[in-house]
């Protein structure tokens, strides 16, 4: 089978498509004939050896996938050959850019019938991340206010949809080209981050969700209410010693589970969530996909690899 691997860490050019034997699933795992694999910024962090999760080389990149179960390993009773599934490979976030991938059975779920395989592969990490930010970590309730930094991105778009449907008033930062899209997802106010300072446009909020990091996140501490919370998925926020009572800050790594995916599948099925695939590339163009992650212009929305061409 063909798989996109790295044998050393570095820029997109280190990715090579290798011919490998097809893997057999072990305890608690399934093998999946991959239809599509999602490409995300965390794949680039792994490629560059900048990720908080480490794996030995060589490794197959990729974590998000959709496809059809080929075989199940010992102890797997919830899936069988022929099931259409989506989800994540393993807690190391590797192994999905392959014609056949192994996935932990408790990190995948049945593919929502309303989604195509490419849409399904675009969703797992980013949609579950948005869900956990809002409901597991910020514990939002109806009537609260939230500022979403990076709302035009893939995690951000799900956070806007899920937050506004939960009755949270959403203030969002995005580039001008994404403003209308972010508003259509449910944000009441969208601030063009290249032209305006959100501090001048946003009242004190209960929650900040951070998909940007750096000085943007530091500035966002200023708009959190005294009892509010800032949840970041970029990195652990540094301490904020300038205050008598520091704002509560949280950083976490997403935990994709069958239960969380099933929850999201229900929302996709009801038309309450939309997936946005921007770029579909065959596996042989995997380097191009990573050049896009590194800033090469590409349409808005998720980058997805096709394994079936």
Give residues in contact with ligand NAP (CB under 6 A).
40-42, 125-126, 129, 149-150, 152-156, 173-175, 178, 193, 211-212, 216, 233-234, 253-254
Q: How far is the CB of 5 from ligand NAP (least distance, A)?
A: 21
Give the position of tokens 């097809």: 22
Q: How far is the CB of 214 from ligand NAP (least distance, A)?
A: 8
Spatial strand order of the sheet with 2-6 comes to 15-19, 2-6, 59-60
What DSSP letter does each residue of 170-193 carry, written as one string?
Answer: EEEEE-GGGHHHHHHHT-SEEEET
Minimum CB distance to ligand NAP smaller for 72 or for 205: 205
Distance CA 299, CA 280 (A): 10
Burial 71-97, CB ≥16 within 10 A → b, else e: bbbeebeebeeebbbbbbbbeebbbbb
Q: How far is the CB of 25 from ligand NAP (least distance, A)?
A: 25
Identify the H or E element spanning 64. Answer: strand 64-72
DSSP category for residue 247: P
Q: How far is the CB of 150 from ligand NAP (least distance, A)?
A: 3
Pairing of strands 29-39, 100-104: antiparallel
Minimum CB distance to ligand NAP smaller for 76 or for 254: 254
Q: Measured at CB, which residue is nearest to ligand NAP?
A: 153
Q: How far is the CB of 103 from ligand NAP (least distance, A)?
A: 17
Partners of 87 in the beta sheet?
65, 108
């Amino acid at each position: 089978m063909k798989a996109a691997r790295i044998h050393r860490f570095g820029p997109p050019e280190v990715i090579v498509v290798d011919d490998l034997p097809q893997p057999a699933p072990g305890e608690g795992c399934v093998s999946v004939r991959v239809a599509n694999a999602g490409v995300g910024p965390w794949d680039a962090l792994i490629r560059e050896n900048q990720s908080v999760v480490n794996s030995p080389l060589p490794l197959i990149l990729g974590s998000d996938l959709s496809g059809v179960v080929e075989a199940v390993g010992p102890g797997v009773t919830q899936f069988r050959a022929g099931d259409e599934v989506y989800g994540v490979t393993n807690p190391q976030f590797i192994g999905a850019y392959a014609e056949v991938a192994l996935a932990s059975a408790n990190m995948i779920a049945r593919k929502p019938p309303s989604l195509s395989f490419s849409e399904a592969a675009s969703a797992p990490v980013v949609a579950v991340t948005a869900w956990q930010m809002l409901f597991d970590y910020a514990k939002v309730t109806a009537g609260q206010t939230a500022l979403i930094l990076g709302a035009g991105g893939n995690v951000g778009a799900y956070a806007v949809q899920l937050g506004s449907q939960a009755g949270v008033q959403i203030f969002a930062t995005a580039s001008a080209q994404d403003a209308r899209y972010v508003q259509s997802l449910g944000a009441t106010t969208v601030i063009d981050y290249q032209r305006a300072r959100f501090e001048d446009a946003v009242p004190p909020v209960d929650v900040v969700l951070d998909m940007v990091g750096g000085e943007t996140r530091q500035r966002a501490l200023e708009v959190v209410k005294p009892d509010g919370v800032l949840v970041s998925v970029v990195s652990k926020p540094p301490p904020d010693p300038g205050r008598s009572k520091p704002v509560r800050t949280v950083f976490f790594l997403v935990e994709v589970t069958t239960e969380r995916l099933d929850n999201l599948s229900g929302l996709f099925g009801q038309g309450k969530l939309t997936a946005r695939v921007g770029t579909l590339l065959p596996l042989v163009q995997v380097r191009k996909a990573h050049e896009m992650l590194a800033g090469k212009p590409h349409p808005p929305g998720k980058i997805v690899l096709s394994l079936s061409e």
